[in-house]
Structure 1
Amino acid sequence: MVDLFDIVGIVHFGIAGNANNSMSIGDVFLNSLHAGIWDWLNPSGTVNYNDVAGLDFKGYNVPEGGDNLLGHIGFSYEFFSESGKANTARPIFWANTTRQWLHVASNLKGINLNQCVNSSVCLPQKPKLVVSLRGSASNIFVDNAAYRDFLFKTFRVSSVDMESSAVVMTSLSNGFLVIVIRGLLDIAGGQTGHNSVDTFGPLAAINACKVVIKFIEEFPKEIKS
């Protein structure tokens, strides 16, 4: 798209898991993204000294004690090419979305978001829009309470999804404005019982779309300014 079309920036939206206990299913949030490489090691391996975080799976054994075969994973920096400097990479830990677009989106906080899937299935509280929290993205569907807690405690991320960081890094590398809008559909393993992805996925997607539409309505004002 960025090669073939004359665009100003990318409005990326979708659904995500919730890793923050202060957020709720159905909420929509706009964020900066955690982008990096996880090195999965064998049980006797050691985390690289360049890694900025590590997770030792035996610390989450149930019952406690003993070793397991999952070993360790360590997180290292990702790289991307800076705009205007082809093939020049620099390390990045947080991929920040466009501040001026976040400012525009902050004016949408009073938006009316859906609370009910249908007449018989509703959330206990009214969903809200939250702007400028941290999110994370990787090719992992997170439905594990221990890993969810690890991500929040270590990186303070409030959402988990599988696509956003790729879109944001592509936008930044090519010098385009970018914003991420994600509706929260579950609590990423923090629930008791069945994951709510099938029940509240459509509601989360609709709420994200509602925010996108309102943001686009404000978009011409931002361009003119």
Structure 2
Amino acid sequence: MSNDLAQMAPMPVHGNTDDPLWRKLWNAYEPIITALRRIPLVTDVEISGGMFGITAQLTDGSHLWISSVGELPIDPDDPEGFHVRRAHEDNPTIDEMVYDSTEDGEHSQHGNNLVSLIQAITAFVTERRLAPRLIDLVAVQVQGVSAKHQPLSQLIQGPFDDRHAAVKEYGYATRDLMQRGWRCIHEQGGTEWPLTVWERNGEVATVYLAHVGQITA
């Protein structure tokens, strides 16, 4: 299932979002920020005392601080690897290294590779259950072709955040087709991702469960 459908964490809300420097840094590191927001972690650009970094809020009140050798440079081509730590503003005992691809770091072989950076952060927050839990949304959909070869597409029911409810509605939809004289000519997917193909008077319709997005629990 494509992660493009995932709900992104909201934009930060504060007075810096109109600041030209903040916007420049946000745009410069947009690939990292967008990937973190898709986890989904509320992500921000921190400008504090001349120090630039990326923060990502975790569900227990702690956060990730993403920098390089010292602060993040304004030019996204200039970092000498990435350094990620977990910290907590009110609890100094929470202080641990998550990822370090700077020259002398444990993951130095990855350098400025963004894929490795995001994979490491994703694995860390997933293992620790520090990211919001995502719930898949499922809908019952129909696609087909009319007797005049015109495309047919319709969302019948949904979206549902409960797979069992979606499967139940799928059963109602296919039973309705049968009662209206449609004939099932193909079936697959069982109760996980059911799909059936139907025919009536030259028309063909496919009824299936479709993943249509995600919401946070």
Give the TM-score normalised by structure 1.
0.24
Q: Which has the higher contact order (CA 8 A, sep 6+)?
A: 1
Give the TM-score normalised by structure 2.
0.24
Larger radius of gyration: 2
Structure number having the greater strand percentage: 2
